[in-house]
Amino acid sequence: MANLFYFPAGDRGHANQGWLDTYHSFSFANYYNPQRMGFGTLRVLNDDYIQPSMGFGMHSHLNMEIITIPLLGQLEHRDNLGHTQIIRANEVQVMSAGTGIFHSEYNYSSKELVNILQLWIYPRANDLEPRYGIQEFDPSQRMNCFQQIVGPDRKKFNTWINQDAWLYLLDLSSNNSVVYKLNKPHKNGVFLFLIEGSANVEKQEMLRRDGMGLIERELVDIRANQDSKFLLVEMPMSSSNL
């Protein structure tokens, strides 16, 4: 299908620096694949495992919406806006880098591993005011239904971003199915990331950590072959910032 793009987990970029074991769905750092420069305005999806007491020192970003989703452990965030926060599973962090933001991310524990997903999405405009937001989400609210965790509505969540993009988590029990209806089907596409489990999406089998991009459709059919956990991103397929 010309409007379905499959991203097997085994084809991701990989780097193990000892303190950091990381997998890249799209080109990032030393991993470069000209066929994988992102999907629409979704530029980065990294799957990071950070060793105890280790992490990313203070560094800067510009003009990017950065979303961090902890899956395991405790992540300590610090930034030049004055935020110091411990982020855990079922919490989501967003940063609008805009004109510039400096931050560090460390594994807060001296004993336990941290696993996070980090996504970068191009904003609708450059040089916006930097900001930070965090929110906790009840995992029971994503059982067999889509739980929105990020979106453009500034009144709905602390985790809003400067783009017509929506992020959802979904825990789908074995043999159940759901249909996702796009918010803006004529402008947006969908990227699905299977965090755990096995599923069929539009009759294409997906396994753990596989990704799939879909364009030119209003609905997406998802069926779990076993208990499964998904991240779904709906975002514009084109932007003046690309």
Q: List, as residue ranges, the binding site for Fe cation.
A: 59, 61, 103, 105
CA 68 to chain centre: 7
Tokens of 132: 């930070």
Q: How far apart are CA 102 and CA 167, in angstroms?
A: 24
Tokens of 147: 């739980």
Q: How far apart are CA 165 and CA 157, in angstroms?
A: 13
Tokens of 146: 């889509």
Query: Judging by beta carbons within 10 Å of its beta carbon (0-12, 13-18, 19+), is residue 21 exposed, middle or buried?
Result: middle
Instruction: Using the structure block, give the residue that is written with the tokens 């560094």.
Output: 59
Beta-bridge mates of residue 136: 91
DSSP-derived 3-state class of residue 11:
helix
Nearest of 143, 138, 149 to residue 69 by alpha carbon: 149
Q: Which amino acid is located at 129 in the chain? A: E
Q: How far apart are CA 198 and CA 228, in angstroms?
A: 6
Q: How far apart are CA 27 and CA 36, in angstroms?
A: 6
Q: Dmax over Cα atoms in the chain, in whole Å?
A: 48
Q: List the alpha helices (DSSP H) in the chain.
A: none
**Binding-site residue set:** 59, 61, 103, 105
